Structure 1
Amino acid sequence: MVEVIPKHIKDVWDRWNIRGAIILSLSLQAILICFSPLRKRTPRRVLIMLVWSSYLLADWSANFAVGLISKNQGKDPKPDDPPQDKKLMALWAPFLLLHLGGPDTITAFALEDNALWLRHVFGLVFQAIAGVYVVLQSLPNSLWVIILLVFISGTIKYLERTTALYSASLDKFRDSMIQAPDPGPNYAKLMEEYKAKKEARLPTKIILIDEPDKEHRPKKLVHPSLVLPDEKKESQHLPNALPGGKKVGREKLHDLEIVQYAYKFFNTFKGLVVNLIFSFRERDESLEIFYNLHDSEEALRIIEVELGFLYDALFTKIAVLHTFIGSVSRLVAFGTLLAAFILFLKKPNKGHEFDGADVAVTLTLFIVGIALDIISVILFLFSDWTYAALSSLKDDPDEAVKSWHDKAFDWLLSFRQLHWTTNQKCHQDAHKCTEKCKKPCPKEVVDKCSEGHTHDVLSTNFFLRRWCGSINVFNFLAYATKAEVHRIHDARGSIRRYSWIIISYPFEKVYFIIQTLSGWIAYPISSVHKWISHIVNEKSRKHTWARRTIYPFYFGFISRIPHAIKYVWDFFSDLLDIADTVDMVQKTLFVHGEPMTRELWEFIFKQLKYKSKFGDSPENAKRISLARGEWSLRDNLPESADREKLVHYVSQFDYDQSLLMWHIATELCYQQKDTIAADEHHHSYREFSKIISDYMMYLLILQPGLMSEVAGIGKIRFRDTMAEADKFFHRRHIEDERSVKKASDTILDVKSKIEPMGVKGDRSKSVLFDASRLAKDLADMEKNCDVDKWKILSKVWVELLCHAACHCDSTAHVEQLSRGAELINFVWLLMAHFGLTDQFQINKGDARAKLIIGK
């Protein structure tokens, strides 16, 4: 009989399979505890894939190892096996239960994992039964005390993970925030008293008195676009500090206060995840604090810590461990594991009783397990949760950081402050010079082009940051023309910059070679086919034999071979989703990260702060959140401008349609020379428009989960527009130019007096020449009305971003936190803090009814 697997390989497997599975399980635990915290700091797919594969393999390897140990316990020992070998392996089973408990830094890879908490309960039961079965088979066993201690530690760890999954499942997460039922004032009793007084013929009336907090709420500005025809409201400016709470003032917050406020707002606004509603008290309290912050950077820091709390609550054990029971259980788990290790070290003659390799594996399990627990304790002690739990906000800002432990916390948190690289030169002007002369500009030219136009970019150290700190961008015209992508800001160091070039260069060249070869192959095949077809047709007209033999053979069989090959390729491409994968890889090559700039965040913050003055009611707040450009156009265009002409490009188009159209129009304007004298803010507005425009296109095409409202139709519209662009560039012979500037000039050269729909109909969803019309109207508005179109465009793009943020599903926002938070997540939470969301629906509260008897 032929052996498929040689005997010596089987022997090696039989001897090392259990040890290998144990070491694999331990290695996966080490990978998870070290690398899983990094996934919220970067969207890099390599890291995400490493964590994902380790997360899936960790449970499998532990269960597989337990099965191997159980099988080995039932085998008869071989002559060369140590007599106590099975007794030592019985100690490994509770270690695998410890591994199944998982590290503190990750309990769920995705939100869906939290919903499987019941599966983990059953897993705990059956894993415990399997462990007990293995131990019982090894009895009598001198290691039973050590086994019991490790078993207790493993059970506690598994219970912690199951509890964390249970509390983070969306249903339980919602239940934990729902307050006791509120029946409201006793309506029936009041009506009975009212009826009795009326029957007694007493002059009686009921008046309503608002809640005390509501009576003192300030009136807010009412924007003209929010006033309905039948509404009459008074306008009054917001004061510098809203009454009715702790006044933050204009002093800069301490690092500890940042964490304390973030924890306070986390407990308030975590209901956003499960779509709970909020009251005017919560809105006004948040609005008061955010309206009076020292600067926009403090808001950014509060929100990044708040998002970190949200991530920890839903994807890690930290929220469970920071309870009293959680802290005690962790001390017990670590203590029992340490005690078991000490007992094992003190056990005499273990080198003679057990195999040396097995003793080494056991010591490795103990040492690495204790080391991982120590790492977990360090992460636990130095987490934001610890600082927030062990300190509290002071009523007097002057006494915010007075005690020694508050000062220590503040000092430790200072290492995680946001760091900015100042005077970062912007390269778009130098890029234009490069396009003209086809070579890099000298340094002195770049410095001159960028003189006076500098921004501060976020450059916090990777291991100290709380989120990725960058904005991924994707440009339609750059992708359509296959042009080289240039960064506006480049805060990368030389090592990162050149390593990225080395990594991406081969992919770009392979893509270019494939594109070139496909063109070279397609052209001669087409030419040969035309030549042969001409000869066959000529012969068939002259000779009957050719018409009966060559003609049907060539046109019925030979000429159909390319079509058959294409049909087979399309079939397997659809079956294996090859086309979409290749298309996604192609798009990814044109994505790059722009670092967050202080000026961009400040601009977004001020826009939302300004709009918060008008969100005095749920209705107005909802109208503001629904705005997608019309607010800014009506509010910023002068009366002499034809406002409705530009508003038409928003109000008469679907959101995804206007998004793609405004994106292309922004790029068309960006590639043209400015027609008005630039003021000190002109370049900033221009840059803000470009970055947010490209960012929104990145979300629409490459992050459809964050654009769920328009993900389907947006993809169709993008493909139709891309098809029209390819066809147009091919006819104008600029498809090989690889120049966005050339493509933009060519598109704008087309006369577009008549709307494209009036010529093409509405079957095609392309918006290429609608965008051209919009770009020309923006240029005309700037020329005729003497306004900066970039100021208008930047504010329109902030509205489009805010519209996407508040209409994105809340679970999609939370899911993104585990892949490096995006700018849209920050805008979503900032809108909630300013009360610009439709979840603030309790505006009146309970009214106090008072029964008045008499005139």
Structure 2
Amino acid sequence: MLVWSSYLLADWSANFAVGLISKNQGKGSKPGDPPQDKKLMALWAPFLLLHLGGPDTITAFALEDNALWLRHVFGLVFQAIAGVYVVLQSIPNSLLLIIILVFASGTIKYLERTTALYSASLDKFRDSMVQAPDPGPNYAKLMEEYKAKKEARLPTKIILIDEPDKESRPKKLVHPSKAVTDEIKESMHQSKSGETKKVVREALHDLEIVQYAYKFFNTFKGLVVNLIFSFRERDESLEIFENLSDPEEALRIIEIELGFLYDALFTKVAVLHTAIGCVSRVVASGTLVAAFVLFHKKPHKGREFHGADVVVTYTLFIVGLALDLISIILFLFSDWTCAALSSLKDDPEESLSSPLDKAFNWLLSLRQLRWKPQECHKDAHECTHKCKKPCPKETVDKCSKDLHHEVLTTPFFLRRWCGSINVFNFLAFATKAKVERIHDARGSFRKNSWKVFAYPFEKINLVIQKLSGWMAKLINVVHKLISFEINETSRKHPWARRTIHPLYFGFLSQIPHFIKFVWDKLSDFFDISDMLDMVYKTLFVHGEPMTKELWVFMFNQLKYKSKFGDSPENAKRISLARGEWTLRDNLPEEADRERLVRYVTDFDYDQSLLMWHIATELCYQQKETVSKDHRYDHCSHREYSKIISDYMMYLLIMQPGLMSEVAGIGKIRFRDTLAEADKFFHRRHIEDKRSVKIATETILDVNSEIDPMGVKGDRSKSVLFEASRLAKELMKLEEKHGISKWKILSKVWVELLCYAACHCDSTAHVEQLSRGGELINFIWLLMAHFGLTDQFQINKGDARAKLIIGK
């Protein structure tokens, strides 16, 4: 809110200040004022132009600001005219040279900002990536030669020769439309364990990570404007990502790549890292330093100018120079500089051959991802061993220590994104329960400080709800008492029936209804209720730190799917899957997998999302028994399912802009399901328990053999008991066939996340970068790197036609 307000008020405040300075220049001097004081104030006008150029780290607050670049051009012109007018009013002025130098620096800074906005506008951004027109092979010339040979009665034919790149493309497996056959699965295992082994790259240096990120940024920035990519770009990216030695390298490449994308669209960085940009920055900084030196060395400042005005002028200079110094430091030590002044080497051994590359590598190593092993929360995993006797305390303590994951804990000033995943749980919100984090890398101080901050809002909301309920009951009771008395009086006295009775029932008793009507209209007009509801929901949102194991799991899932996306059609089929691909791939036919598949295919995406989320929570709250050997793997998949499930619910409810393409009537389904849950909890007298575990047990106790839709109809969009049926199906699957429901659930959730990522509008992805970025942005780009998007549609290159003459 502070940055947004400052961004909007900057232009207005500058115009207001220039107007005040101009007005002051036209007034006569007051008695006792220094003789040259107004001359000094004329120096402040170009300073406002200087600071309107803004810091290098923000030129646009939203993408719409880039589209308004022409408005900033007019702002620059009129601001410059106003500054020149103020200066002309002060002539003759002994500070004229200083004013001209500051004016030149401010104009250059404002031009940099305007140029950055212009180049980042989507139309210009698209034009910068469009290649020169390609007329293709000379068809007319070839046909003329063909016609001439034919008329000469020579045996002539035309053959087409595919491009060498097309012929050498690796062959991929094609996933069947309904099921993965045993033959394909067997060939997959043979390819993994056969004689031909894939060569895995060695670990990439920090500089190579940035170089690859810069290379892919220049390739995939076309995703923002929906450009079409060719198979060459897909295969090049796929080959590199498939051969990475560690999935963490993919995470680092993508986070830097998203950083480049953010810089190109919201900052001056892309403009400054050009030859003209570097020259303009040197000139702007040089003129500002020269102006400061001249002002500082000017004699008799104390006699010519007011002391307070001299302090203000020094402050303006110091702040301007400090911002310039910070900009230069950020410029020299940015990822852009490291990528622009170095290049990828064909031989990995030569990657750090020069002293400059070694210096860049050391600098970038300071911003490596930092991971910290951390135990899972004691309430997050209630798995027990398959032992005949209870385990001794030492064994339990040892096993709990084994249940840890590596969480992302990069220091604040060194990280490139927040490194956490916001989650929101439906049943926790419905029961108003407090949910502990699975991992908490923030420490007890920050954790308790957030509780202290949120406590007043929780209490205020509780008080408002109780007061509104009490007021409604009080008004109802008072109305009944007054109505009874008036009716009794009206029966006894005719004058009361003619006066008091119509006055009360026709006017006074309608006042509460009128107040409620006015409040509802105002609330709908200003969206007050939705705003308050969103603020209240925010109290149930918390961040789970990214774990290395979760990223590796998602990376491997997409890497596996990329083996089947050899053509645009197959890649599109995979990206359109929202659970059915995983279910048919991982469940045998004897498990009656179609019973689970229908919970995906027979429902809309938002309906399916809410249903699988509630079912996941119902399963998560159940106490399970698992062998010691499979404990870690079991609990890890259980954790993946929980985190991604709650994250998808957070996106659906709290980030509607990211889910607008797939959300449908998700808000209505959420409200209807919440209303049914509130009604159900009230009837079972557990609305005040504030326990998700009790709520899940109560829901699962309901007999749901008959389809709820067949009983309730489809007027209500609630999916509460459809989710209960799904949870029971998953539990039954594990009991009958020994298939881990958590492995199935975790893979289904990755597929649901991928479906949302690739169907989210590209501009919504970029807009989210200005707010810190989300996990869905990483998945969106990772899918593009693996070729799992419908924007890889150019499957054939230019076929080379050859004219053959002969028998």
Into which bin does the TM-score normalised by the smaller protein fall? over 0.9
TM-score between the two structures when normalised by the length of structure 1: 0.88
Establish whether residue 510 from structure 1 lines up as the match of residue 460 from structure 2. yes
Q: Distance in 2 between matches of 1:614 and 1:191?
A: 40
Letter paired with 1:193: E
What residue is the counterpart of 2:533 in the other structure?
583
- Aligned in 2, Cα 1:109/1:146: closer, same or farther, shift over 3 Å? same
Q: Distance in 1 between matches of 2:469 and 2:735?
A: 44
Q: Distance in 2 between matches of 1:445 and 1:533?
A: 71
What residue is the counterpart of 1:36 in the other structure?
none
Q: Distance in 2 between matches of 1:537 and 1:642?
A: 68
SS at 2:422 equivalent: strand
Letter paired with 2:732: D
Pick from 129, 133, 148 the counterpart of residue 181 of structure 1: 133
SS at 2:402 equivalent: coil
- Aligned in 2, Cα 1:571/1:215: closer, same or farther, shift over 3 Å? same
Letter paired with 1:282: E
What residue is the counterpart of 1:565 in the other structure?
515
What residue is the counterpart of 1:254 in the other structure?
205
* Superposition pairs of residues 374-413 of structure 1, within 5 angstroms: 374-413=325-364
What residue is the counterpart of 1:780 in the other structure?
732
What residue is the counterpart of 1:297 in the other structure?
248
The CA deviation string for residues 491-549 of structure 1, in whole angstroms up to 9 with x for no partner, is 11222112112111121222223333334444454455556667777888899888777
Pick from 443, 450, 455 the counterpart of residue 493 of structure 1: 443
What residue is the counterpart of 1:419 in the other structure?
370
Q: Distance in 2 between matches of 1:771 and 1:408?
A: 56
What residue is the counterpart of 2:744 in the other structure?
792
Structure 1 residue 722, shift from structure 2 partner: 1.3
TM-score between the two structures when normalised by the length of structure 2: 0.93
Establish whether residue 335 from structure 1 lines up as the match of residue 286 from structure 2. yes
- Aligned in 2, Cα 1:69/1:486: closer, same or farther, shift over 3 Å? same
What residue is the counterpart of 1:473 in the other structure?
423
Q: Distance in 1 between matches of 2:192 and 2:733?
A: 36
1:220·1:237 contact (CA, 8 Å) conserved in 2? Answer: no
Q: Distance in 2 between matches of 1:400 and 1:129?
A: 52
Q: Distance in 1 between matches of 2:143 and 2:188?
A: 37
Structure 1 residue 358, shift from structure 2 partner: 1.4
- Aligned in 2, Cα 1:511/1:327: closer, same or farther, shift over 3 Å? same
What residue is the counterpart of 1:45 in the other structure?
none
Matched residue count: 790
Structure 1 residue 90, shift from structure 2 partner: 1.3
Establish whether residue 698 from structure 1 lines up as the match of residue 650 from structure 2. yes
What residue is the counterpart of 1:659 in the other structure?
609
Structure 1 residue 822, shift from structure 2 partner: 0.3
Letter paired with 1:417: Q
Q: Distance in 2 between matches of 1:728 and 1:326?
A: 64
The CA deviation string for residues 562-585 of structure 1, in whole angstroms up to 9 with x for no partner, is 322321221221222210111011
- Aligned in 2, Cα 1:701/1:444: closer, same or farther, shift over 3 Å? farther
Letter paired with 1:313: A
Establish whether residue 207 from structure 1 lines up as the match of residue 155 from structure 2. no
Compare 830-839 and 114-123 and name the one that shifted more: 114-123
Q: Distance in 2 between matches of 1:159 and 1:201?
A: 68
The CA deviation string for residues 289-324 of structure 1, in whole angstroms up to 9 with x for no partner, is 000001110000000000000111111111111111
SS at 2:687 equivalent: coil
What residue is the counterpart of 2:767 in the other structure?
815
2:427·2:692 contact (CA, 8 Å) conserved in 1? Answer: yes
What residue is the counterpart of 2:558 in the other structure?
608
Compare 352-361 and 176-185 and name the one that shifted more: 352-361
The CA deviation string for residues 117-175 of structure 1, in whole angstroms up to 9 with x for no partner, is 11111111111111111111111111111111111111111111111111011100000
Q: Distance in 2 between matches of 1:734 and 1:711?
A: 31
Letter paired with 2:253: I
SS at 1:705 equivalent: coil
Q: Distance in 2 between matches of 1:261 and 1:239?
A: 28
Pick from 580, 583, 589 the counterpart of residue 633 of structure 1: 583
Identity %: 80
2:25·2:86 contact (CA, 8 Å) conserved in 1? Answer: yes
Letter paired with 2:759: H
Letter paired with 1:716: I
Q: Distance in 2 between matches of 1:754 and 1:236?
A: 41
Which structure 2 residue ranges, 5 or more long, are not aligned?
385-392
- Aligned in 2, Cα 1:540/1:744: closer, same or farther, shift over 3 Å? farther
Q: Distance in 2 between matches of 1:652 and 1:421?
A: 43
1:656·1:713 contact (CA, 8 Å) conserved in 2? Answer: yes
* Superposition pairs of residues 126-205 of structure 1, within 5 angstroms: 126-205=78-157
Pick from 267, 270, 280 the counterpart of residue 221 of structure 2: 270
1:275·1:810 contact (CA, 8 Å) conserved in 2? Answer: yes
- Aligned in 2, Cα 1:187/1:788: closer, same or farther, shift over 3 Å? same
Q: Distance in 1 between matches of 2:82 and 2:190?
A: 66
* Superposition pairs of residues 15-34 of structure 1, within 5 angstroms: none
* Superposition pairs of residues 114-125 of structure 1, within 5 angstroms: 114-125=66-77
- Aligned in 2, Cα 1:769/1:495: closer, same or farther, shift over 3 Å? same
Q: Distance in 1 between matches of 2:87 and 2:478?
A: 77
Q: Distance in 2 between matches of 1:375 and 1:348?
A: 30
SS at 1:422 equivalent: strand
Establish whether residue 360 from structure 1 lines up as the match of residue 302 from structure 2. no
Q: Distance in 2 between matches of 1:236 and 1:795?
A: 18
The CA deviation string for residues 31-60 of structure 1, in whole angstroms up to 9 with x for no partner, is xxxxxxxxxxxxxxxxxx121112122222
2:375·2:400 contact (CA, 8 Å) conserved in 1? Answer: no
What residue is the counterpart of 2:390 in the other structure?
none
Q: Distance in 2 between matches of 1:293 and 1:417?
A: 17
Establish whether residue 842 from structure 1 lines up as the match of residue 797 from structure 2. no
2:676·2:718 contact (CA, 8 Å) conserved in 1? Answer: yes
- Aligned in 2, Cα 1:669/1:547: closer, same or farther, shift over 3 Å? farther
Q: Distance in 1 between matches of 2:679 and 2:785?
A: 47
Structure 1 residue 718, shift from structure 2 partner: 1.1
* Superposition pairs of residues 62-73 of structure 1, within 5 angstroms: 62-73=14-25
SS at 2:771 equivalent: coil
Q: Distance in 1 between matches of 2:35 and 2:710?
A: 90
Which structure 1 residue ranges, 5 or more long, are not aligned?
1-48, 242-246, 434-442
> Root-mean-square deviation (CA), in Å?
2.7
Structure 1 residue 381, shift from structure 2 partner: 0.5
SS at 1:707 equivalent: coil
Establish whether residue 828 from structure 1 lines up as the match of residue 791 from structure 2. no
Q: Distance in 1 between matches of 2:663 and 2:597?
A: 24
SS at 1:195 equivalent: helix
Letter paired with 1:644: E
Q: Distance in 1 between matches of 2:498 and 2:621?
A: 60
Letter paired with 2:132: A
- Aligned in 2, Cα 1:208/1:100: closer, same or farther, shift over 3 Å? same
Letter paired with 2:133: P
Q: Distance in 1 between matches of 2:541 and 2:278?
A: 44
Establish whether residue 646 from structure 1 lines up as the match of residue 599 from structure 2. no
Q: Distance in 1 between matches of 2:190 and 2:274?
A: 40
SS at 1:490 equivalent: coil
Structure 1 residue 95, shift from structure 2 partner: 1.1
Structure 1 residue 205, shift from structure 2 partner: 2.9
Compare 752-761 and 351-360 and name the one that shifted more: 752-761
Q: Distance in 2 between matches of 1:819 and 1:359?
A: 39
Structure 1 residue 673, shift from structure 2 partner: 2.4
